[in-house]
């Protein structure tokens, strides 16, 4: 039987801890036998899980013979990883054990060095911090999970379910995974990635910056067919100076900022109105429905219709 060891670190996030325990424990094979043996392991006898403390039945000695190790998220992803846990994970990896992380569990897993050079993911809010703390990993904030073969990482919260179901499908096939998905009241595959959940900041420039008034004007004129020349004229600068100031103060270009502002307004209209997709595209400044749909999917990862079904 496939053994899954769930590693409970200090300040483990209860949701991330319970997800693999529940999903793998409930998985049944076609003949009714359990697909997995699940064990909870920890470095110390008692683990602080925030709202409660837990006692893990297994110590780190439960990791070496596991087929899969899951590293759930922790409240403080910047907390140092203990040498004992680091060595246990590295040793398991050297033996070929599959290791997966959920949400901010990518941080302690990255701290082992096992993810260096790999594309990984974590909760979208923490992706920037992950890239800063672990520059040797390629942090992708847009996807629900990344499968690198031996090492897998998932985004935040419910994306842990997506990752667990993906691993079940790898281990036992689609039929067993589909049954596990039904027990979890979860689709086996979800459309899009994290991008549809990300709230893009419209105004990264600080108050009092040179661009403050211009950004306010842009927000008020999203429906207009604006060109770089129009924006430069409004700001009273040359196009070259406009682009330089935008990059310095917002980290992006004027048109990229405008596209994201338009898409965020479109998201709001899709969530709160019954206007047609074509009408909303025109309201936020896209000249054709096709252009709107293409740009919306490029930024959010899903179509406007799918976004509306999910969030309206």
Q: What is the mean pLDDT of residues 260-286?
A: 90
Model confidence band, residue 278 (pLDDT cutoffs 50, 70, 90): very high
Helices (H), 41-158: 83-94, 106-111, 127-133
Residue among 9, 22, 19 at smallest CA distance from 49: 9
SS3 57: coil
Residue among 189, 207, 120 at smallest CA distance from 155: 120
109-167: pLDDT as tens digits: 999 999 999 999 999 889 999 999 999 999 988 888 899 999 999 998 789 998 999 89
Query: What's the CATH superfamily of 211-310?
Result: Homeodomain-like (1.10.10.60)
265 token code pair: 């307004």
Model confidence band, residue 188 (pLDDT cutoffs 50, 70, 90): low
| pTM of structure | 0.68
Q: Is the dihedral of CA 216, 222, 227, 228 positive or negative?
A: positive
Class of domain 2-184: alpha beta
Domain residue spans of the chain: 2-184, 211-310
Model confidence band, residue 86 (pLDDT cutoffs 50, 70, 90): very high
Q: What is the C-alpha separation between 164 and 39, in angstroms, rounded?
A: 15
Q: What is the C-alpha separation between 91 and 64, in angstroms, rounded?
A: 8
Angle at 259 (CA atoms; ends 257, 262), nearest 5 degrees: 110
Q: Is the dihedral of CA 206, 133, 259, 235 positive or negative?
A: positive
Residue among 154, 115, 156, 155 at smallest CA distance from 134: 115
Q: Is the dihedral of CA 83, 89, 92, 96 positive or negative?
A: negative
Cβ-contact 215, 242 below 8 angstroms = no
Model confidence band, residue 245 (pLDDT cutoffs 50, 70, 90): confident
């Amino acid at each position: 039987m496939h053994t899954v060891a769930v590693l409970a670190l200090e300040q483990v996030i209860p949701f991330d801890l319970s997800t693999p325990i529940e999903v793998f424990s409930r998985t049944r094979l076609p003949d009714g036998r359990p697909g997995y043996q699940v064990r909870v392991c920890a470095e110390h006898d008692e683990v602080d899980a925030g709202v409660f403390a837990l006692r893990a039945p297994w110590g780190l000695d439960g990791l070496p013979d596991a087929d899969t190790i899951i590293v759930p998220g922790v409240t403080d992803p910047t907390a140092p990883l203990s040498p004992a846990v680091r060595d246990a994970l590295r040793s398991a990896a050297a033996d070929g054990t599959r290791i997966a992380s959920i949400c901010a569990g990518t941080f302690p897993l990255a701290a082992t060095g096992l993810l260096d050079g790999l594309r990984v993911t974590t909760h979208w809010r923490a992706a920037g911090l992950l890239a800063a703390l672990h520059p040797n990993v390629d942090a992708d904030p847009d996807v629900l999970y990344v499968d690198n073969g031996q090492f897998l990482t998932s985004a935040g919260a419910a994306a842990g379910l997506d990752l667990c179901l993906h691993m079940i499908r790898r281990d036992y096939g689609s039929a067993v995974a589909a049954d596990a998905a039904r027990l979890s009241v979860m689709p086996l595959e979800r459309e899009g990635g994290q991008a549809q959940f990300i709230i893009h900041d419209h105004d990264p420039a600080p108050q009092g910056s040179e661009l403050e008034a211009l950004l306010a004007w842009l927000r008020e004129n999203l429906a207009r067919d604006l060109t770089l020349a129009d924006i430069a004229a409004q700001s009273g600068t040359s196009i070259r100076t406009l682009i330089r100031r935008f990059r310095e103060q917002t980290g992006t270009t004027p048109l990229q900022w405008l596209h994201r502002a338009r898409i965020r307004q479109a998201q709001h209209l899709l969530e709160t109105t019954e206007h047609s997709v074509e009408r909303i595209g025109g309201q936020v400044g896209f000249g054709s429905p096709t252009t709107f749909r293409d740009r919306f999917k490029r930024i959010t990862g899903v179509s406007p219709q799918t976004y509306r079904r999910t969030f309206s």
